[in-house]
């Protein structure tokens, strides 16, 4: 039974890292006049209201998008996606990764989104109604394996679990190895938390051994409340596209700015 709802965490510093890197990676990919496939294994609801009771209860956006956005250059692709979403849904609207992706892509591209939670899935279908996305209420890892290698073959997969299922730490390296075997040109992006317990470390060691061509980018931020176990977040990218290393380095500066 899944209980995680991303609305309590939308716009936090981890989201900013993930969504900014996703927008940068897609910007490089759409620079070529060739179609691509976007797959997301854990999509969430796609669109968040930062003025909702749930978002205000934790107030996580206050330490994330509210301070970090001002440090992004005006022409950063993530900033452009944020502006597009606010223009359409209002000032408190915040795009989840499916919307960051859909607004970055073109009519010729294919979008596949998996979300298992019934309410999140229904909300996702609503948020994506005007986009030509395929939406599945299905296990995201199963979907990714079934779709790969996708048509078109060029493309990117985002895997953003809530790590509610503790086995994710053991299983993700196996899933990534299987997906990369079937789709050796795919760009695979994984978000992970940096935890005081170090629970993420073994997973990262295994991923690094299996995928020599990777980018690992990590940012640190204060815990949302005293004693909270998450002290930063990371993105592990297999087959990083040209330019992503520089975009990630720029993003690090933003997190370190006074």
Q: State which of positions 188-247 bind ligand SAM (CB under 6 A).
A: none
End-to-end CA distance of the chain: give it in Å, rounded.
Answer: 41
Strands 110-114 vs 37-40: parallel, antiparallel or unpaired = parallel
Candidate list 109, 160, 205, 250, residue with the active-site label: 160
For the question of residue 250 being annotated catalytic, the response is no
What angle in degrees, to the nearest 10, is found between the helix axes of 97-104 and 118-127?
30
Closer CB to ligand SAM, 153 or 162, in the complex: 162
| Cβ pair 32, 155 in contact under 8 A | no
Closer CB to ligand SAM, 42 or 81, in the complex: 42
Residue where the block lists tokens 């990262």: 204
Smallest distance from the beta carbon of 22 to ligand SAM, in angstroms? 8
Judged by CB under 6 A, which stretch of 42-50, 81-89, 169-177, 200-208 contacts ligand SAM? 42-50
Judged by CB under 6 A, which stretch of 31-39, 145-153, 154-162, 219-227 contacts ligand SAM? 154-162
Query: Based on the number of CB atoms within 10 Å of its own CB, is 170 exposed (0-12), middle (13-18) or buried (19 or more)?
Result: exposed
What is the distance between the alpha carbons of residues 257 and 253, in angstroms, rounded to a whole number?
A: 6
Q: Does the footprint of ligand SAM cover residue 96 (CB under 6 A)? A: yes
**Chosen residue from 49, 139, 218, 250 binding ligand SAM by CB under 6 A:** 139
Smallest distance from the beta carbon of 176 to ligand SAM, in angstroms? 14
**Which residue positions form the known binding site for S-adenosyl-L-methionine?**
19, 42, 97, 115, 139-140, 160
Closer CB to ligand SAM, 92 or 153, in the complex: 92
Residues 6 or more apart whose Cβ sits within 8 Å of residue 221? 13, 14, 63, 231, 232, 233, 255
Judged by CB under 6 A, which stretch of 80-88, 110-118, 203-211, 244-252 contacts ligand SAM? 110-118
Q: How far is CA 237 from the centre of its chain?
A: 11
Task: State the catalytic residues.
Answer: 160
């Amino acid at each position: 039974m899944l209980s995680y709802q991303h609305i309590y965490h939308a716009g936090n510093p981890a989201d900013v890292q993930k969504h900014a890197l996703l927008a940068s990676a897609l910007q490089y990919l759409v620079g070529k006049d060739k179609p691509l496939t976007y797959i997301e294994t854990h999509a969430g609801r796609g669109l968040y209201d930062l003025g909702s009771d749930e978002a205000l209860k934790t107030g996580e956006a206050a330490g994330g998008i509210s301070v970090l956005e001002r440090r992004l250059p005006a022409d950063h692709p993530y900033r452009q996606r944020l502006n597009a979403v606010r223009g359409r849904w209002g000032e408190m609207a915040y795009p989840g990764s499916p919307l960051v992706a859909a607004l970055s892509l073109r009519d010729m591209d294919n979008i596949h989104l998996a979300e298992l939670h019934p309410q999140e899935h229904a909300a996702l279908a609503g948020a994506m109604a005007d986009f030509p996305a395929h939406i599945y209420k299905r296990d995201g890892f199963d979907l990714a394996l079934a779709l790969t290698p996708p048509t078109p073959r060029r493309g990117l997969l985002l895997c953003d679990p809530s790590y509610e299922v503790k086995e994710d730490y053991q299983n993700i390296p196996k899933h990534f190895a299987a997906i990369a075997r079937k789709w050796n040109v795919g760009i695979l992006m994984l978000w992970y938390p940096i935890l005081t317990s170090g629970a993420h470390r073994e997973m990262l060691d295994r991923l690094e051994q299996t995928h020599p061509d990777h980018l690992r980018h990590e940012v640190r931020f204060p815990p949302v409340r005293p004693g909270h176990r998450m002290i930063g977040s990371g993105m592990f990218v297999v087959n990083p596209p040209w330019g992503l290393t520089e975009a990630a380095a720029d993003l690090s500066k933003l997190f370190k700015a006074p």
